Amino acid sequence: MDTHSPPPARLLWFLQRVIQLQWPLRLLSPWLGKFNPFLPEFQDLVSALAAVEEQGESLSEADLLSLCMLLLAAGHETTTSLLGNAVLALLRHPDERRRLVGDPSLMRRAVEEVLRYDSPIQATDRVATADCEIGGHAIRKGQLVGLILGAANRDPEQFDAPERFDVGREKNDHLAFGHGTHFCLGASLARAEAQIALAALLQRFPCFDGDPEPAARKRSLVLRGPTVLPLRLYCGGTPTAGEPNSLVWKESVYGDCREEPGV
Ligand code: HEM
């Protein structure tokens, strides 16, 4: 900062530093965080959860920690898989990729289709709270029931041609984010992240190439996604006159693309 700035600018600078310091301050000492009059109320989820505890409403430290771990794991692993699965599906279906590049307005549907076609969470479970029957099978109260979301998302009674990857699929009531009371808390965030990231990738690199069989996958029955997905990126396509964001796809998928140096 320019030390000769007029007093209001210096005051503003000082306040900004105080606000920026609030995280380390609070991490270093809960006491400082609690009693420091400069610290305004936090606007983020973790702080809101901590505040619930402060108001005496039931969140123990163990609850808070496990919630934070859930948020980190649920929010990180799954979205990484969603992006990996999306790139893989587009790699394996060049016609659908060409369709999406040609019509970016399909992006929302395309992300929903990846969620259905290659769900990042394949399964969850429930404990039956009462005796019941599902699909002709008797379930007793207290029994653990495995729910295979990945299979439900390929159910031919729910989806037309469920094995087809269709970036324009219209009716797509998939269960990739679960259902009911425990419906995914981060669904909107995950959807937004995937739409933004894929749009940015396709806009800059409409052509990419790679092994359609990923070198390694997550070793899990529940989490599905590649752990490594090497790609060769090409830049190509020509911006349409007056519409710099839309790309005209050339005749062949890779024919008119050139390799971007240094990528
Ligand atoms: C592609 C990304 C994601 C997928 C596929 C996904 C999937 C799911 C599924 C299937 C459930 C329900 C589990 C069940 O009913 O047993 C769930 C719950 C949950 N998800 Fe996600 N999730 C994603 C992203 C996120 C993100 C980004 C966050 C947080 C920032 C998040 C936080 C949670 C939480 C806290 C729950 C538990 C909700 C509850 O029990 O009430 N998820 N997620």
Q: How many CB atoms lie within 10 A of CB 29?
A: 12
CATH number where 88 lies: 1.10.630.10
Q: Are residues 44 and 73 in the same domain?
A: no
Q: Is residue 1 part of a domain?
A: no
Whether residue 86 sits in one domain with residue 37:
no
State the pLDDT at residue 44: 73
At 38 the pLDDT is 44
| Closest ligand 1 atom, residue 181 Cα | 41
- What residue type is assigned to position 218 of the chain? K
| Ligand 1 pocket test target in 68, 78, 82, 149 with most atoms within 8 Å of CB | 78
Any idea which residue has 């094995």 for tokens?
163
Instruction: Write the single-letter amino acid at 253.
Output: V
Ligand 1 mean position, distance from CA 185 (Å): 5
Point out the ligand 1 atom lying closest to the alpha carbon of residue 175: 10
Contacts of 228 (CB under 8 A, 6+ apart): 214, 215, 216
Structure-token match 């029994």, residue found: 143
How many structural domains does the chain have? 2
What atom in ligand 1 is closest to the CA of residue 71? 29
188 domain-assigned: yes
Query: Contact at 8 Å (CB) between 33 and 18?
Result: no
Q: 97 alpha carbon to ligand 1 midpoint, in Å?
A: 27
Contact (CB, 8 A) for 131 and 125: no
Structural domain of 48: 7-54
Nearest Cα neighbor of 116 from 83, 79, 159 is: 159
Strand partners, 146: 125
Position 75 scores a pLDDT of: 85
Nearest residue CA, atom 39 of ligand 1?
182
pLDDT at 29: 40
Residues in the chain: 263
Mark whether 81 and 192 lie in a shared domain.
yes
Q: Is residue 16 domain-shared with residue 70, that is, in the same domain? A: no
Q: Which atom of ligand 1 is nearest to the CA of 82?
A: 1
Q: What is the mean pLDDT of each run of 10 residues along the chain (263 residues)?
A: 46 46 45 45 71 69 83 87 96 92 96 98 96 95 97 97 98 97 93 96 87 88 93 64 41 42 40
User: Which residue is listed with tokens 């983020």?
Assistant: 44
Both 106 and 73 in a single domain? yes
Residues 23 and 115 in one domain: no
H or E stretch covering 243: strand 243-248
143 located within any domain: yes
Residue 216: burial class (beta carbons within 10 Å; 0-12, 13-18, 19+): exposed
Same domain as 109, residue 35? no
The reply to whether 137 falls in a domain is yes
258: β partners: 235
Nearest one of 230, 195, 200, 199 to 214, comparing CA atoms: 230
Looking at the structure, do residues 197 and 234 belong to the same domain, yes or no? yes
Ligand 1 pocket, mutate which of 115, 184, 189 (most atoms under 8 A from CB)? 184
Q: Are 73 and 120 in a shared domain?
A: yes
Query: How far apart (Å, rounded) are the C-alpha atoms in residues 23 and 18?
Result: 10
